[in-house]
Amino acid sequence: MDKTAIENIAEKDLFSSEGREVEPYKLSHLVSANKLRAYIRIELFDKSAEISSEEILNYLKENNIVYGIREKEIIEYCENKEYSKELIAAQGIAPIHGEDAYIVYSFDFTRGKKFLENEDGTIDFKNLNNVINVKKDTVLAYIVPAKEGKDGVDVFGNPISYRKGKDVYFDYGKNTYISPDGLQLLASTDGAVEYKNGKLFVENVYRVKNVDNTTGNIDFIGSVVIDGDVKEGFSVTALGDIKIRGMVEGAYIKSEGSVVIGRGMNGMSKGTIYAKGDITSKYIENATIETESNVYAEALINSNVKAGDSVIIKGSTAAIIGGTTEAENLIYATTVGNKTNPETNLVLTLKEYYEIEKLMGEKKKKRIDLERELADKNKELKELELKIDLLMNSSIAIQDKTAFQKKLLFMKIKLNSEIVELKRELEEIVPTQDIANYKIICKGKMYGNTRITIGWLKHRVRQDINYSKIYNDGKDIVIVPLNPGDLDL
């Protein structure tokens, strides 16, 4: 029970002027910290004594407790002589705080990131529906305003102000505008609505049937949607996402966002894709692929692939055959290589692991310095405490002693603050990473003549291996059977 430390005690005169005891009990009360409850306590000096409800009511009034008096409970308390119990004699009304305003978005901005797998194991690249198209003046989001609250009343009859709900404001980007009442965010042009870095904006999307002689090369500041194919020798460059529903033939694709190719890519040994976001394609053959994020496909054939995160090969084929596939965290496939034994290279760079190891080394060195500094500060603090003791026991004049003591105490407070900060820094978590988390998963067969590089270690697969996980344990490249948990992505 949360109560203030201030206790008001009303005590009857226990003794007469001749020293005789005349009152057999003592009344006192406590008020909770929020002043919403008043408690009555009775201390009996005579077990046969009785207290009337009128006495308690008068006592409350004398102590300015005037609101929310629980008269019925007080009467029952006195009738039942429950003096040993603490009585809630008054109950105020708590304030009802206002509710914060919030923003409701009109679209599901996560749907474009979901790649569904059909029952037969293939990935559905036909129904991508990644672009959220909007018309001019479409409501993109609206604000549900903050709700007002209601004041409360404490047991002294004073009002308790409610906490107002916080307002919220749109953080909006280009091609949008706010309604006159400030409650709606709307599109100022036709286009595709996107949500990035906490902002809503409308991107004018360049949309064509095919990229060929009728269009020429495309260089666009927004996103591009191609309903057909990108023909050999042409290029598509975009600051936004590139979504191609057909296939790519020996073309150059560059995106500052993600790239999706519905029917796959035959690079003809000259096709290239570069993206900062994910690259997703039904298959990739004879092409060069580079992304700062992930690569998703059903097959990689004789291609050079670099992924800043992972390469995930899933679907009915789920094969990596020939070429070099390089990733940071994970390479995942069912089949690697084939019966004709083309050289297939799999590389995990361990770049992130190296960076974490470097950071750990720096943290350990800093920890040694901090521990040394903390020891020095603790020593300094003990010396200072000794000086304070000597000062207090010295014969210096009280006026001078007080001045010196004040100065030393300020120094002690500063030292304590520095020690607390040093301890906080020492408690900071040093990041760690298990090198075994960087792995190659082969759900089916990995054929001989597959060359594996994980960090500083290399391994050549000379005989076919099946259903395996491959990783660097810090000393050697380890090949072990898969566990069910290894298949979860």
Within a domain: 37 = yes
**Beta 184-187 vs 139-144: how paired, if at all?**
antiparallel
342 compared with 440, residue with greater pLDDT = 440
pLDDT digits over 373-411, tens only? 777 777 777 777 777 677 667 666 666 666 766 776 777
Task: Mark whether 78 and 158 lie in a shared domain.
Answer: no
pTM of the model: 0.52
| pLDDT exceeds 90 at position 447 | yes
User: Degrees (nearest 5) of the Cα angle 315, 333, 254?
Assistant: 80
Q: How far apart are the first and last CA of the chain?
A: 49
Within a domain: 132 = yes
**Beta 248-249 vs 265-275: how paired, if at all?**
parallel
Q: pLDDT tier at 290 (50, 70, 90 boundaries)? A: very high
Rounded to 5 degrees, φ, ψ at 205 are -95, 130
Task: Mark whether 81 and 109 lie in a shared domain.
Answer: no
| pLDDT exceeds 70 at position 223 | yes
Within a domain: 20 = yes
Within a domain: 339 = no
Within a domain: 311 = no
- Give the domain range for residue 162: 102-202
Name the DSSP letter for residue 353.
H
Within a domain: 463 = no
Q: 139 vs 106, 177, 178, CA distance in Å?
A: 7, 10, 10
| pLDDT exceeds 50 at position 126 | no
| pLDDT exceeds 70 at position 131 | no
Question: What is the overall mean pLDDT for the chain?
Answer: 84
| pLDDT exceeds 50 at position 4 | no
- For the chain, the 3-state helix, strand and coil shares in percent, each to the nearest 5, are 20, 35, 40
Task: Mark whether 154 and 196 lie in a shared domain.
Answer: yes
d(C-alpha 116, C-alpha 107), whole Å: 19
Task: Mark whether 111 and 193 lie in a shared domain.
Answer: yes
User: What percent of the chain is predicted at pLDDT more than 70?
Assistant: 83
Number of domains in the chain: 3
Among residues 202, 233, 263, the one where a domain terminates is 202
| pLDDT exceeds 70 at position 471 | yes
| pLDDT exceeds 50 at position 14 | no
d(C-alpha 282, C-alpha 313), whole Å: 10
Task: Mark whether 86 and 108 lie in a shared domain.
Answer: no
Among residues 158, 174, 202, the one where a domain terminates is 202
Task: Mark whether 57 and 107 lie in a shared domain.
Answer: no
CB 222 within 8 A of CB 238: yes
Task: Mark whether 16 and 39 lie in a shared domain.
Answer: yes
| pLDDT exceeds 50 at position 472 | yes
Least confident of 73-87, 222-236, 427-441, 467-481: 427-441
Task: Mark whether 66 and 153 lie in a shared domain.
Answer: no
| pLDDT exceeds 50 at position 204 | yes
CB 66 within 8 A of CB 112: no
Among residues 91, 111, 127, the one where a domain terminates is 91
**Which pLDDT value is given to residue 485?**
79
Task: Mark whether 25 and 53 lie in a shared domain.
Answer: yes
Highest mean pLDDT (candidates 36-45, 191-200, 272-281, 348-357): 272-281
pLDDT digits over 294-320, tens only? 999 999 999 999 999 999 999 888 999
Within a domain: 75 = yes
Residue (of 204, 266, 254) closest to 229 by Cα position: 266
**Burial class for 41, CB neighbours closer than 10 Å (0-12, 13-18, 19+):** middle
Within a domain: 371 = yes
CB 43 within 8 A of CB 32: no
Q: pLDDT tier at 333 (50, 70, 90 boundaries)? A: very high
| pLDDT exceeds 50 at position 165 | yes
Task: Mark whether 85 and 111 lie in a shared domain.
Answer: no
**Which pLDDT value is given to residue 400?**
62
**Which pLDDT value is given to residue 486?**
78
10 compared with 341, residue with greater pLDDT = 341
d(C-alpha 437, C-alpha 119), whole Å: 29
Residue (of 340, 263, 349, 339) closest to 305 by Cα position: 349
Least confident of 60-69, 116-125, 403-412: 116-125
Task: Mark whether 63 and 136 lie in a shared domain.
Answer: no
CB 226 within 8 A of CB 244: yes
Give the mean pLDDT of 23-40.
Answer: 91
d(C-alpha 294, C-alpha 289), whole Å: 11
Give the mean pLDDT of 422-441.
Answer: 73
Rounded to 5 degrees, φ, ψ at 230 are -110, 115
**Which pLDDT value is given to residue 276?**
95
Task: Mark whether 411 and 387 lie in a shared domain.
Answer: yes
190 compared with 16, residue with greater pLDDT = 190
| pLDDT exceeds 50 at position 8 | no
**Which pLDDT value is given to residue 116?**
54
